[in-house]
Amino acid sequence: MERQPAGHGNDINSPGIKIIWAEVMGKLEGMESSNLEHLWPQLVQGFKDLSTRLKVN
């Protein structure tokens, strides 16, 4: 698969990704540590999946 130029498709610097990232980080910062510990494996897997989809390794 050919990689698209910056500013197209799965660009990690797109405004949409930045907004989503800010929303996620805000929610994580507001969570109690017991909830974070419970969700940690899912968070790690989600970041791995996102990294793979964005081709950031």
Structural domain spans, the chain: 33-57
Q: pTM score, two decimals? A: 0.47
Q: What is the pLDDT along the chain (57 residues), one digit of tens a residue?
A: 444 444 445 566 778 878 888 888 888 888 888 888 888 899 889 888 888 887 755
Q: Mind spelling out the 3-state secondary structure of the chain?
A: CCCCCCCCCCCCCCHHHHHHHHHHHHHHHCCCHHHHHHHHHHHHHHHHHHHHHHCCC
pLDDT for 12: 62
pLDDT for 1: 43
